[in-house]
Amino acid sequence: MDGAATCFNPQRKIPLLSSILLLLGIHLFHGNHTSTNLTLLSDGIQYYFSSNNSTDELHSLRRQSESQRSPACHPHFQVASPPGEPLTWSSSSKFKRLYFYHARKAGGTSLSYYFEKVARHHGLEFASMEYLGSEVPGSYDETTFYVTHLRHPVERSLSHFKYEGRWDCKQLIHNYTLYNASEANANKLETWNGTAGHHGTASCRKKFRLVTCAVNCYTQWFSSLSCPAWDIPIVTQAEKARDVLLRFNLIVILEKLKDPAYVAAVENFTGVPGLTMTRSAWCEPESHTANRMHPLMVKNETLGHLTELNGVDIDLYNNISSCLDNGSYDFPKWDDDRFAKNESSRVSYQEFSQWKIQQRLKKAKEKNS
């Protein structure tokens, strides 16, 4: 089991920033209005992006992905062509790596644990990302199996507010004797209305980065296009986000985990049980306690406003997930032949939690020595 540790390269966790910009810049915009030029420096690679508001080109973007079936209902074992090329699928190379995009406050801590277990069990490299935008499927140099998840945007936003928007997590954890969470020192849901939470926008100094988010968060995380200086219309961002999502192999819909038939279908697809086992996130015990002591009263009007603000994301969520509504989950079974498994790094799923603990101890030891 020890061998598995060396196989995991944490550097792999850093995705190529939005190769999507290339895709957009080169393929999708040939209109003629105001155009902005951007050069982003990331991982030593330059990306050029020119933005304008040509509706013609937006239509062509839509056409490109219209025929694509949602990976929420039709998960598969195909590899997407690199972004920048027209989207095609192939089975000519085997997957070596599993990438999990962790959308915040949508069950990602538990799902990340589960999909790491899936990766280790099958002898695949595991990479996950939170905070920064998603890697674009097809952009990585090693053949990668892409997984992510969605939860209803308003549920997600409320959950995010309760987790770290209502009170400051650091205060709840490190200053609990003095801080004493109460309605008096709580932030209000009424001001939880910016794309980055109570105010502001994604931080974009070096890279797109979005840690707290109240409004249209999937659109921002999957498109990586919400940096204010770029001034890209939200609908353009959402089109892009949809394009990226349609390149995934599997999208887990959180609400569906209540349906045992869905859970069985996903577990058959991954070949690993335990999809619904939950894990607690960093500040979860503290924020749960505070919210239990001071239950959040959501005014109808506030909920209506939050729903309105999240309209673009709600459309995106419905677009990707509504095909599951009829309760039929015709998912393929795990296809062993499609994966280039590293036999010497495989961890049985029964032993995964023990293996995880060992890794943590090993890391701590290395840090201290």
Site for ligand NAG in 27-46 (CB under 6 A): 29-37
Would you count residue 68 as binding ligand NAG (CB under 6 A)?
no
Per-residue binding string, ligand NAG, 133-172, x by CB under 6 A, is --------------------------------------x-
| Tokens of residue 119, six digits | 């990766």
> Is 126:100 a contact under the CB 8 Å cutoff?
yes
54 or 358: CB nearest ligand NAG: 54
Per-residue binding string, ligand NAG, 270-309, x by CB under 6 A, is ------------------------------x---x-----
From the list 15-23, 145-153, 154-162, 262-270, the region that binds ligand NAG by CB under 6 A is 262-270
- The phi and psi torsions of 258 (rounded to 5 degrees) equal -75, -15
Number of H helices, E strands in the chain: 14, 8
Would you count residue 237 as binding ligand NAG (CB under 6 A)?
no
Min dist CB 109 to ligand NAG, Å, is 25
204 or 264: CB nearest ligand NAG: 264
Helices (H), the chain: 3-7, 20-23, 55-66, 108-121, 153-160, 169-174, 176-179, 217-223, 234-245, 260-270, 284-293, 300-309, 311-321, 352-368
- DSSP assignment letter at 50: E
Please tell me the distance from the alpha carbon of residue 362 to that of residue 255, in angstroms, as a whole number: 36
Would you count residue 175 as binding ligand NAG (CB under 6 A)?
yes
- Read off the amino acid at residue 170: K
> Is 171:125 a contact under the CB 8 Å cutoff?
no
Residues that bind ligand NAG (CB under 6 A): 3-4, 6-7, 29-37, 48, 50-54, 62, 66, 73, 171, 175, 178-180, 182, 190-191, 193, 231, 233, 261, 264-265, 268, 300, 304, 319, 322-323, 326, 328, 342, 344-345
